Copies of this chain bind each other. A is one copy, B any other.
Amino acid sequence: MDELPRAGWPNEETAPPGVAERLARDIQAGRFQPGSWLKQIELQRRYGANRSEIRKALEHLASKRLIQYLPNRGYFVHREDDAVAAEIRDIRIMLETSAAEFMARNAAEHHVVELETLAKRFAALLDAGTMVEIYEVNLAFHRALLATTGNHSLVELVSELRLRTSPAPASQWSTRRRMEQSAREHFEIVEALRARDVARLHVIIERHISQPETEEADKGR
């Protein structure tokens, strides 16, 4: 009498990547043009999945706003909208700066150490790494930073918001100068966190988020 359903995988991270995740990565990596149709038969072949799985994955990504749906037409890759992108950037700033208070309160020392490691790795990759590597470490840093709040829902929420904006060719960051600036700010954040300086955290994080990804938004306004 199993009337008490329990979630299957205790740790979502360790679950095998499904079709939705793979498709999401492909879209994010720009392997599908924004605005192009996602034909179910093609996806079926590409991912070696059946129709049901494909439809489920498509609906999943549609409700995450990664793709859009039109009845009797199908699903197509979401088109970047400058206005919406700006809105989401604002939301991220609201969330991550407000989170500063929780970070300072809840961050343990091992969190700070991990962040420092990631900040160092990011800085090191500026010379040696590819754009994709840099992008991923930056992602990991922000994820880890938010994780210090202890609010897991917050981490996930921001990750989802990122999916909605991150421009397809992740390779095109800003200029070299900006990347170096970002690297410096990462260390500043770690320091401020270690010092439990909420106000300073607030300021740095706001500057940090506004900067790196504003070029498109600035151009568009």
Contact = CB atoms under 8 A, between A and B. Distances in A.
A63 interface: yes
Interface in A87-110: 87-88, 90-91, 93-95, 97-99, 102
Nearest to A7: B68
Contacts of A154: 87, 90-91, 94
Interface size class of A (residues with CB under 8 A): 35 or more
- Top 4 nearest A-B pairs by Cβ distance? A94-B98, A87-B153, A59-B59, A63-B63
Interface of A: 3-5, 7-8, 35, 37, 52, 55-56, 59-60, 62-64, 68, 70-71, 73, 76, 84, 87-88, 90-91, 93-95, 97-99, 102, 151-154, 157
14 contacts: A3-B35, A5-B37, A5-B68, A5-B70, A59-B63, A60-B63, A63-B64, A84-B152, A84-B153, A87-B152, A90-B102, A90-B151, A97-B98, A98-B98
